[in-house]
Chains A and B, each alone.
Chain A
Amino acid sequence: MVEGALLSRLAIAVLALLSPTALAHDGPQTHIFSSGFNFAETTGEELFANICQGCHMPDGSGASGAGTYPSLVADRNLEARGYPVYLVINGRKAMPPFGEMMTDAQIAAVVNYLRTHFDNNYQDIVTAGEVRDARR
């Protein structure tokens, strides 16, 4: 079938692009594969593209099935910066906690990324120190 052939061609294309020694590192797109229990991504963009978009989708618009992943587009919940910091650390309902898998700097980076992308334009910056304080 069409889809199978497409997947097959894509696989071959990816194989051709990567040398065997590069297997565990980022490939042709922005993919990063962490080793161990902590995320290796550092920038907000990397963190979003490799983790958040799994549920919130590549365009940040969320998704809905039997339950919903909220949209982050023009999201008023991001205005008070302590709120997304708290959510990323502790999780809430369907949202898993990431506090133990991300550093203070990573959490600050991804929150800052969300607050300045997807039609969000909050100019105040979250610092790693703020995240550290929020963990207490």
Chain B
Amino acid sequence: MPSELPTIRRRDLLALIGTVAGSAAMYHAMTSLGFASESPYQGPIRLEGDPKGASVLVLGAGLAGMTAALELRKAGYKVQILEFNGRAGGRNWTLRGGDSFTELGGFKQTCDFADGLYINPGPWRIPHHHRALLDYCKRLNVALEPFNQLNHAAYLHSVRAFAGKPQRIRAVKADFQGQIAELLAKVTQQGKLDETVSREDQEILLQALRSWGALDNGYGYKANLISAEFRGYARDPGGGLTAMPEASEPVGLSEILKSRLWRYLRGFAHYNFQTTMFQPVGGMDMIGKAFAKEVGDLIRFNAKVTEIKQDDRGVTVSYVDAGKPGAVQQVQADWCVCTIPLSILSQLPVDVSAAMKSAIDAVPYAASVKIGLQFKRRFWEEDEQIYGGISYTDLPIRQIAYPNYGYNRAGRGVLLGAYLFEGPNAYEFTAMSPAERVARAVEFGAAIHPQYKAEFETGVSVAWHRVPFVLGCSGDWTDATRDAHYKNLCQIDGRIVLAGEHASALPAWQEGAILSALDAITRLHDRVVRM
């Protein structure tokens, strides 16, 4: 094939670069040539060459900072980390019973969940193609389990459709496909596609529509056991004298269209949400804890950075005790990998070029709110056969996500009672006190699960604009700000390089944080070994 030729030539070129300049240079060349575009992660990073005792100060002990620290120390650097919080992990975070958390404004919550129950207020799911993160999980022995993004038994819900009654995803999907298939089959049989589709292809199309849409022999989408096999039965198949199943009644084309519930279906097909997705067993912070086991000895906790200076010999960072700001202390190093969120970094005096400073100032942080609710029993499983996955709604809570662990157990359960990301409702929930957020999540959620009223016990909420260590959820780039500032943000500026999800094309994803760190230290190391 002709398209193979340039690929082969490019491969030869890369091999040459690898031989002459080392794997770090090859990695960079591969990325810039677009060769690595399918997945930028090429396996464990190898920083070859002697850093000759160079020191690196890493700011922030989130996944980006700890990735950088782990790999740089392994490559022979002297590494220190300054971290604002009293724990490692940053937004990689889990709230369990007994944890307390004070948001900006002084609102304090103590999580009252039962043993073993938790929510992940930040990242909570890992796509199967986030290879860097998955590789670190493997290397650091973080056990994973499936995260159900699509559960056919969960609901789609609109206050403006089906009299506010939640619909099973399986039924919406089957009816949407079935009605479209029936319509297209009708049009095909009426000869209306004769000008654009060959006779032979029309025959195949009809077969496909029948298969895809659960149509009957006459290409109709009807109440029968064919459609019931997809949308669900009025009575499930059983045993003995009550064995025979009963078909359910499909929803008509107009009603399914007007419900607009179909708009949620595309989310399940999105690359970042396709099966298989994962979560760490026991909570997302298992990843941060596993990193901290490797680099925890390098971290100075409760260190609030107040100034970042550099000259041609090194970097000097000032910090105070985050708990009781007093005497300013300083750390010096040859280089700095700064993972401080831009919402905070933009407020600090930082010695960088005007171009990088403009980039740091250009990225606002998204509003996002998550609310965890504990109930006396797992009624979503017991009453509704919903094991994991997510229900979507146009109520302000947007989502109800069911726990992907502890299935089919008796006793309490914790679900995610709201997940808002951007849009007015995320701001409106942020503006409430934590107790009000929980109360509202219970009130709204009861429209989908009436059991809420009797079963609710306790809740906890995190509004990311009020989280002291980040002041927002994630870097909120636009096409325009990326065009104007992204490259300037990621360049090494003297002795400082930035990393974090904000310095990636995967905003708000942990993979973005790790890939940005790997890219940053690859370039930094190149510079160091060439000096």
Contacts and interface: CB of A to CB of B under 8 A. Distances in A.
A66 B469 contact: yes
A68 B440 CA distance: 28
A93 interface: yes
A97 B476 CA distance: 11
Interface in A6-43: 6-8, 10-15, 18, 20, 23-24, 27, 29, 31-40
Given A32-B428, A66-B470, A8 B457 contact: yes
Contacts of B346: 67, 93-94
Interface string A55-91: 1011000011111110000000000000000000001
Contacts of B322: 66
Interface string B467-494: 1111110001000000000000000000
Contacts of A92: 361
Interface stretch (B1-9, B148-156, B443-451): B443-451
Contact of A54 (B304, B340, B341, B427): B427
Contact of B471 (A12, A23, A69): A69
A39 B456 contact: no
Contacts of A23: 159, 395, 443-444, 447
B216 to A, nearest CB: 39
By size class, the interface of chain A is 35 or more
Contacts of A18: 443
Contact of A63 (B84, B105, B112, B432): B105
A96 B471 CA distance: 11
Contact of B365 (A35, A39, A52, A96): A96
Contacts of A51: 424, 427-428, 431
Nearest to B478: A97
A93 B476 CA distance: 11
Nearest to A12: B453
Given A66-B471, A97-B364, A15 B159 contact: no
Most buried by B among A29, A55, A95, A101: A55
B447 A67 contact: no
Contacts of A15: 442-443, 446, 453
A101 B172 CA distance: 31
Contact of B458 (A7, A31, A58, A96): A7
A7 B466 contact: no
Interface residues of B, number: 62
B471 A67 contact: yes
A95 B458 contact: no
B469 A65 contact: yes
A114 B457 CA distance: 38
B365 A54 contact: no
A86 B104 CA distance: 25
Contacts of A5: 458
Contacts of A58: 105
Given A7-B458, A66-B322, A92-B361, A54 B466 contact: yes
Contacts of B442: 11, 14-15
Most buried by B among A63, A91, A93, A96: A93
Contacts of B137: none
Given A23-B159, A37-B424, A4 B458 contact: yes
Contacts of A37: 423-424
A53 B447 contact: no
A6 B467 CA distance: 22
Contact of B344 (A20, A40, A50, A67): A67
Most buried by A among B340, B427, B472: B427
B69 to A, nearest CB: 19
B164 to A, nearest CB: 8
B364 A94 contact: yes
A69 B347 CA distance: 10
Nearest to B108: A3
A39 B424 contact: yes
Contacts of A101: 424
Contacts of B504: none
Contacts of B365: 94, 96
Contacts of A94: 343-344, 346-347, 364-365, 471-472
A31 B425 CA distance: 11
B394 A96 contact: no
Contacts of A10: 435-436, 438-439
Nearest to B444: A23
Interface of B: 84, 104-106, 109-110, 112, 159, 164, 304-305, 322, 340-344, 346-348, 361, 364-367, 374, 394-396, 423-425, 427-428, 430-432, 435-436, 438-440, 442-444, 446-447, 453, 456-459, 463, 465-472, 476
Given A23-B444, A54-B463, 18 more contacts: A1-B112, A7-B439, A8-B458, A10-B439, A15-B453, A27-B443, A33-B425, A34-B423, A50-B427, A51-B428, A54-B367, A54-B431, A55-B471, A57-B104, A65-B467, A67-B347, A94-B346, A97-B364
5 contacts: A8-B458, A33-B425, A34-B423, A66-B344, A94-B346
